[in-house]
Amino acid sequence: MSAPQSWVDVARLRQGLYRFYGAALLEPAAERLTALAAATGYLDTLGVEAFAYATTWAEVHRVMQSEVSSDTLRREHARLFGSGVDGAPAPAMESFYAGPADQGKVGTSLASLERDYRSLGVAPAPFGSVSPDHVSTELEVLALLCAREGSAWEREDHVGALSELRHQDRFLRSHLSSWLPLFLRRVVDARPAPFYLAVVEATAAMVSHDLGFVGALLAQGEGP
């Protein structure tokens, strides 16, 4: 394992981690778990240990190496997150945390998210059958923005890369960072299986880190 060598490497690492966490929070399937287990080794080669969230990633890695049954996780996924919001201890959708539906906050939250998707040039549909405000969808959007950033650095398009970082900053501030801490608290309170505790804690740690990291890059205004 080694530290990332360039902005391209950093962007690809962040892309991979966001995509990994998004996939891990979808309804479990044996094939997906196999792919996730294989992905941990690859992501390790990209320099995770250079970042503050390395400890939580290491716990995800440890859990993935243990015996993980897709049937067991499917039941736990349904218990924790449910297919909707009623009765689930930790709904995995931003709109749930926007406030009571009778105050119109849910609709406002979804409308804001949909406007942001349009302004970013992304559509929720390619990210699966989950709702546009599902944590997996929002993490996949961040993965896409990181992929765009990495491509811009590869082209030596400094202006384009900074533009993508601004998109990431806006999306993190407007969406994931505003509700993920509440989601994490509910997951912890529900005493989840080790797999989901590790994944949600690692996701929250990365989002919290990236909020400052991306802001610092924009303030610096240049790559390494």
Answer whether 199's CB lies under 8 Å from 37's CB: no
How would residue 66 be classed by pLDDT, with cut points 50, 70 and 90? Answer: confident
Q: 111 falls in which pLDDT band (50, 70, 90)?
A: confident
With bands split at pLDDT 50, 70 and 90, how would you rate the model's confidence at 188?
A: very high
pLDDT on residue 76: 94
Do the domain assignments include residue 198? yes
pLDDT score at 3: 53
Q: What is the CATH number of the domain that holds 101?
A: 1.10.3480.10
What span, in angstroms and rounded, lies between the C-alpha atoms of 175 and 165?
15
In a domain, 35, yes or no: yes
Domain with 203, as residue range(s), is: 7-220
**195 domain residue, yes or no:** yes
Q: Which residue has the higher pLDDT, 217 or 123?
A: 217
What does the DSSP assignment read for 135-167?
HHHHHHHHHHHHHHHHHHHHTT-HHHHHHHHHH
Helix (H/G/I), strand (E/B), else coil: 93:
strand
| Length in residues, the chain | 224
**pTM score, whole prediction:** 0.91
Buried b / exposed e across 29-53, counting CB within 10 Å, b at 16+? eeeebeebeebbeebeebbbeebeb
At residue 186's C-alpha, the angle toward residues 18 and 81, to 5°, is 65
pLDDT digits 0-9 by tens, 128-166: 678 899 999 999 999 999 999 999 999 999 999 999 999
Whether residue 207 is contained in a domain is answered as yes
Distance, in Å, from the CA atom of 18 to the CA atom of 24, rounded to the nearest integer, reads 10
Q: Of residues 96 and 198, which shows the higher confidence score?
A: 198
Record the tokens describing residue 113, joined without a space: 């998210």
In a domain, 2, yes or no: no
Q: Is residue 42 part of a domain?
A: yes
Q: What is the pLDDT of residue 126?
A: 53
Looking at the 3D structure of the chain, how many domains does it have? 1
Residue 1 counted as domain residue:
no
94 part of a folded domain: yes
